Amino acid sequence: MSIDGVPSSNLRLTTYANTWAYKSDEIAAHTLTITCGDTSVDIHMNIIELGYDISPVTGNLEFDFNPVGYSNSSTNRLWKDKDHPSVALTVSNNFDWDNGGYKLDENGNQYFLVKSGTRAYISYNLFGRDPKLSGAEFKVIFKTSNVRDNTTTFLSCIPEDETPVGI
């Protein structure tokens, strides 16, 4: 798969169908190309401005875990921050890529799903700087469903030695 001639990902398909979720905030014409062997198909898009500012906040943003464009069947399915390659997603050995991972909601928006009993980690040191000097803010947009134990931790800050420092 490529966007404007630049490869974006390789997929190893294990089912007869797959979905490529692509969204762009760049106002321009784009060509998406899907190639399999000697066969390829081009999808031409022209993204126009709607007159609404829906751009995300970027001031002092350390990283943005955005799952758009990733696929469970991609050979490079683990997200890495494009501006800070040391900030990356890893998952537990038992991660459920069949039922979890990159999914689409009822509106076609892509999200990352972590199923019960599995773990996902983002290698960012939230407490790496003294918040008394420059402040600190952490924003997570999340959803839980089918919760059976309302005391279960959904997010924690764990240093490399696996001892939680904040919940």
Bridge partners of residue 61, in order along the sequence = none
- Domain positions in the chain are 1-124
d(CA 146, CA 43): 38
Average pLDDT across the chain, whole number: 81
When pLDDT is cut at 50, 70 and 90, the band that residue 166 belongs to is: very low
Token pair belonging to 63: 């990283």
Does residue 137 register a pLDDT over 90?
A: no
When pLDDT is cut at 50, 70 and 90, the band that residue 136 belongs to is: low
Token pair belonging to 67: 């799952």
d(CA 148, CA 116): 10
Distances from the Cα of 11 to the Cαs of 1, 14, 107, 120, 133, in angstroms? 8, 9, 24, 21, 45
Does residue 94 register a pLDDT over 70?
A: yes
Instruction: Calculate mean pLDDT across residues 139-161.
Output: 72
Task: Count Cβ atoms below 10 Å from residue 55 Cβ, excluding itself.
Answer: 7
CB 13 within 8 A of CB 41: no
Whole-structure pTM value: 0.61
